[in-house]
Amino acid sequence: MKLSALKFSLILASGFLMASCAVNPYASTNKLYKKQAKAYGKSLWAVPQVNPEEVAYPQGDYWVGATNFNMRKPNYVIIHHTAQNSTEHTLKTFTTKATQVSAHYVIGRDGKVYQMLNDHLRAWHGGASKWGNNTDINSSSIGIELDNNGAEPFAEAQINSLLGVLEMLKKKHGIPAANFIGHSDIAPSRKVDPNPTFPWQKLSQSGFGLWYDADVLDSVVVAKNYADSVATGKVDTTLLQQEVLVLQQEPKYKVPDTFNPQDALRIIGYDTRNMEAAIKAFKLHFIQTEVNAELTEKDKQILYNLYQKCL
């Protein structure tokens, strides 16, 4: 019995050992990550030097290192969908040098989160993009990729994990609520991610990203003097002596006649050099139906409400 128990213990121990020594399929690319990060770290340790022959200003007598500094911190979070068919496919893409793309976090449909870069490192996820006056989004942002083929709803487990990551990032880096945006927002003429099923309203309710007020599309019943309709020629002018009123519905919040949608989109952050693309990007994020280049009256009400929040 003692021998059998010993054999069982040995088998159990070997099983644990095998599990703990499971081969990471990304072990080789992890080494490349460490090597490259070490090289950047070494450059930070080095005393700043310039070649006197390459500068047109006199150098100080000696190097003086400042004592008050810290790491650069991200100020935006950009949310993407991968447009690929699996988490493994995306992990492979971001560990292949030839692709020239990466992100800080990848979140699978099952909710598993893969952090691929330190938050302070610059990922290559935004490409040619612009938000407000910022034309180098990669240098000031964290990129999050959601495993999604671009045409499907986002899994509940995935969104729950995303909310957890966003909460951590917001606390860690002090990122403003309005600075959680989508890839299509910063690259309206090139990108359409995350797709129209993405729950931007849910994120906003949790403190991540802008959303319009709940009652912005409400209408109210208003009273108008019947005499206002005399101009139509259909009203008996004898009624003018009577205080006749009619009731009609009007938007609760009216958009001023002077409202300029292009200025509003620009103030929110959109690149309006291609106005059609900017409108589509706005509607993809905030309307999520009929994503086209036309602004309906309801669309303008929403845009005006958001514009006021950004003033």
Nearest residue to 178 (alpha-carbon basis) of 283, 287, 293, 286? 286
Find all residues with CB under 8 Å of 29, minimum gap 6, and list them. 95
- Of these residues, 88, 145, 156, 297, which one is catalytic? 145
The gap from C-alpha 58 to its chain's centroid, in whole angstroms, comes to 44
Estimate the crossing angle of helix 261-268 against helix 297-309, to 10 degrees: 40
Q: Tokens for 218, please give them.
A: 């409400």
Sorted by sequence, the CB contacts under 8 Å of residue 237 that are 6+ apart come out as 230
Query: What whole-number distance in Å separates Cα of residue 285 and Cα of residue 196?
Result: 7
- Packing angle, helices 261-268 and 275-286, rounded to 10: 70
Surface-to-core class of residue 122, CB atoms within 10 Å of its CB (0-12 exposed, 13-18 middle, 19+ buried): middle
Query: Is the dihedral angle over the CA atoms 292, 296, 300, 306 positive or is it negative?
Result: negative
145 is catalytic: yes
Q: Which residues face 81 on adjacent strands?
A: 146
* Residues noted as catalytic: 145
